[in-house]
Structure 1
Amino acid sequence: MTLLIVGATGTLGRQIARKALDEGYQVRCLVRSPRKAAFLKEWGAELVQGNICKPETLPPALEGVTAIIDAATARATDSLSIKQVDWDGKVALIQAAVAAGVKRYIFFSILDAEKYTHVPLMEIKRCTELFLAESGLNYTILRPCGFLQGLIGQYAIPILDNQAVWVTGDTSPMAYMDTQDVAKFAVRALSVPETEKQTFPVVGTRAWGAYEIIRLCERQSGREAKVTRLPLGVLRTVRGITRFFEWGWNIADRLSFAEVIATGKPLDAPMDDVYRVFGIDPKETTTLEAYLQEYFGRILKKLKELDTEKAKKKKSKRKLTF
């Protein structure tokens, strides 16, 4: 089976590529910049240059492809808008997959997308789900709600750097999942017939609120967080301002998604049946506690080593002075 991974340089996509290669799949990655994706080639993947926003580049990339795992999405810093990437680009990719006779298509949506049609990214994901279901492709839709990796920049690093941790609104509890675990579900779906033409939540072991995560980071790091609460009204004002400028469209759309997190409504779903269908042991899923413990343990050890090295250099300079 030749597997095409779209979005393979992203936080989730690279984990999918790694897992698929480990499982013995022949992996091809659609990339905009082969230079930036060189690490994927080193892992053993084939790189093919192309862009879902340039439909003419897709047919050559899909030659001989049996399955697609689509993990691409617009980033806040992209020059292209969410609509251009997550709608226009995905429609082009799905149509190209149909034309190429691709047998399986794994798509990443967002949990509860249908409940927030006023949020651009959520509405686009919902519409893409419908378009994919009507395309005739043999699809599987996976719906995560957040990744553990995103919590490092949001909470862990500011606490370690003695910077402010921003909390907005009523902070909806979210069932974050490690991207490595999400990748397991994506790759496993390729070989499990029961996942065909089905939609599944893919979420972590439990939902965590912002203040729970902050307290956990404080315990693991031994440092106190500086929490700054951002009123929801301020967030909406910033979103309105950024929407006036083309460079701020993606930022504004992301801020709209931030409002979902600020509603206080949990983003979580039962996973017992999902684990059973995919044949994955829930005990193998990384918990937030274990993830942060490993992260802070590694970082604090490195900081201690750096402090020791600085002390040695300082001591050596003193000896040379005397």
Structure 2
Amino acid sequence: MKLLVVGATGTLGRQVVRHALDKGYEVRCLTRSLSRASFLSEWGAEVVKGDICNQETIAPALDGVDAVIDAATTRITDTLSIKTVDWSGKVNLIQAVQNSDVDRYIFFSILNAEKYPDVPLMEIKHCTELFLKESGLNYTILQLAGFMQGLIAQYAVPILDNDVVWVSGENTPIAYINTQDIAKFAIRALEVPETEKQTFPVVGTRAWGAYEIINLCERLSGKDAKISTVSLAVLRLMRRVTRFFAWGQNTADRLTFAEVLASGKPLDANMDETYETFGIDRQEITTMEEYMDEYFTRIMKKLKEIDYQKNKNKKKKKPTVPYKNQF
């Protein structure tokens, strides 16, 4: 089976590509930047240039493909808006697939997206789900909550660097999951007929609040966190300010996600049916403790190696003799 992975250079997309290749699938990647995707070629994937916002570039990428895995989304630094990429671009992609010989389509959405119509990304994800269900394609929708990978920059790195860790005034637990585990479900969906034209939650082993994650990082790093709280009112003000500037549009849209965090409703779901349908053992799924322990073990070892090398280099320096050239 040959797959087209869209959004292959992203945090999730690259894990989908890696897992698909490891499972023996042929993988083609659609990317706006060939240089950014060079590592995918090194892994053994075929990389083609194209853009879901430019419909003419999509059809050639679908030639000879059996299934599409759609992991594309707007980066906060992108010049294109969330509406342009996550809605218009996805409509282009789905319509192109409808007009091709490709039947299978895997889409990543967000858990409980239908409950937040005032949050742009959530509303767009929900509308895309509805559009996909009406497309006639053989789809599978995987609803996610949050990536463990994003927690490193948000919590682990600031604690190690003695920088401030910012948390919102509300503490909504989120069932974060390792993107490597999400990739397992995405590829497995292609192999299990029972996943066709169905929607499944794909979340971590349990929901974690911000302070629980901070406490875990403190214990594993041996350092105390400097915590600063930002209120929902401040986040709303920041959103209004950034909307005045073109470069701040995506930032403003992302800041509306604070409304989700302020809801107090956990982003979590029962995974019993998902595990049973996909035939995946819940023991295979990375826990938060395992993920953070692996990170801190690796980074602390690296820091010790750097300190050792610095001390070693200091010892190699020849001692200077005081007043050597004055006699």
**Contact 1:144–1:202 (8 Å) recurs in 2:** yes
- Deviation by residue 1:186-214 (Cα, 9 ceiling, x = unmatched): 00001100000000000000000000000
Task: Provide the C-alpha distance between the structure 2 equivalents of 1:103 and 1:3, rounded to a whole number of angstroms.
Answer: 11
2:300 aligned with 1:321 = no
Partner of 1:300: 300
CA–CA separation in structure 1 for the residues paired with 2:153 and 2:264 = 21
1:109 partner SS? strand
CA–CA separation in structure 2 for the residues paired with 1:59 and 1:169: 47
The SS at the match of 1:165 is strand
CA offset digits 1:153-206 (Å, max 9, x no partner):
000000000000001121210000000000000000011000000000000000
Partner of 1:152: 152
- Three-state SS of the structure 2 residue aligned to 1:100 is coil
Would you say the 8 A contact 1:8–1:72 is kept in 2? yes
Structure 1 contact 6–68 (Cα < 8 Å) conserved:
yes
Deviation at 1:127, TM superposition (A): 0.2
Q: Which runs of 5+ in 1 are unaligned?
A: none
CA distance in 1, matches of 2:14, 2:116: 28
Quick check: 1:98 aligned with 2:98? yes
Q: Is the 8 A contact 1:169 1:263 kept in 2?
A: no
8 Å Cα contact 1:181/1:285 also seen in 2: yes
The one-letter code matched in structure 1 to 2:263 is T
- 2:253 aligns to what SS in structure 1? helix
Query: Please, which runs of 5 or more residues in structure 2 have no aligned partner?
Result: 322-327
Deviation at 1:231, TM superposition (A): 1.0
Q: For 1:169 and 1:104, how far apart are their aligned partners in 2?
A: 42
Provide the rounded CA distance (Å) in 2 between the counterparts of 1:142 and 1:102: 19
Q: Deviations over 1:57-90 (max 9, x none)?
A: 0111111111000000001100000000000000
Cα offset, 1:33, TM superposition: 1.0
Contact preservation (8 Å) 1:140, 1:197: yes
The residue number in structure 2 matching 1:238 is 238
Whether 1:289 aligns to 2:289 is yes
Aligned-pair CA distance for 1:35: 1.3
Aligned runs of 1:218-229 on 2, under 5 Å? 218-229=218-229
Q: Provide TM-score, normalisation by structure 1.
A: 0.98
- The equivalent of 1:250 in structure 2 is 250
Identity among equivalent pairs (%): 69
TM-score, structure 2 as length reference: 0.97
CA distance in 2, matches of 1:73, 1:216: 30
Summarize deviations over 1:26-76 as a string: whole Å, max 9, x none: 100001111110111111111111000011101111111110000000011
Q: CA deviation at 1:114?
A: 0.4
Query: Any conservation in 2 of the 1:205–1:287 contact (CA below 8 Å)?
Result: yes
Q: What amino acid is aligned across from residue 261 of structure 2 in structure 1?
A: I
Q: Is the 8 A contact 1:29 1:45 kept in 2?
A: yes
SS at 1:48 equivalent: strand
Deviation at 1:265, TM superposition (A): 1.4
Look up the SS of the partner of 2:319 in the other structure: helix
Which residue identity lines up with residue 181 of structure 1 in the other structure?
D
Q: What's the CA shift for 1:320?
A: 3.4
2:44 maps to 1:37: no
Is 1:183 the counterpart of 2:183? The answer is yes
SS, match of residue 3 in structure 2: strand
CA contact (8 A) 1:30 1:48 kept: yes
Cα pair 2:232 2:258 within 8 Å, conserved = no
Q: Which residue of 2 aligns with 1:134?
A: 134
Query: Does 2:202 align with 1:202?
Result: yes
Aligned position for 1:5: 5
